[in-house]
Amino acid sequence: MAIELTQSELGVRVRLTRGSFHLDVDFSVPPGINILFGPSGAGKSTLLDCIAGLATPQEGRVSIENEAFFDSASRLDVSAQKRHLGYLFQSPALFPHVTAKQNIEFGISHFPIPDRNAAVAEILKLFRLENLAARRPAELSGGEAQRVALARSLVTDPRALLLDEPLSALDAGLKNSIIADLRAWNAEHEIPIVYVTHDRAEVDALGERVITMDHGQIIQQGIPREVLDAPRHQRLAQIAGYENVLEGTVKEIRLDNGVMRVALQGTTTSIEVPLSYAKMGDSVRVAIRAGDILLALERPIGLSARNILHGTIESLEQRSATIICRVNSGATFEVHVTLGAGRDLNLQAGREVWLVLKTYSCHVVA
**Which residues contribute to the site for other proteins (CB under 8 A)?**
52-54, 79-87, 89, 91, 93, 95-97, 106-107, 110, 136-138, 149, 152-153, 156
Specify the residue, 86 or 207, whose C-beta has the smaller distance to other proteins. Answer: 86
Specify the residue, 89 or 360, whose C-beta has the smaller distance to other proteins. Answer: 89
Minimum CB separation from other proteins for residue 158, in Å? 9
Minimum CB separation from other proteins for residue 50, in Å? 13
Which are the contacts of 81, defined by CB distance < 8 A and separation ≥ 6? none
Specify the residue, 96 or 112, whose C-beta has the smaller distance to other proteins. Answer: 96
Its sign, for the CA torsion 292, 199, 287, 280, is positive
Minimum CB separation from other proteins for residue 185, in Å? 17
* Cα 21 from Cα 42, distance rounded (Å): 9
Specify the residue, 15 or 84, whose C-beta has the smaller distance to other proteins. Answer: 84
Identity of the amino acid at 251: K
Minimum CB separation from other proteins for residue 49, in Å? 8
Which of these, 205, 118, 119, 117, lies nearest to 154 by C-alpha position?
Answer: 119
Minimum CB separation from other proteins for residue 83, in Å? 8
Specify the residue, 148 or 206, whose C-beta has the smaller distance to other proteins. Answer: 148
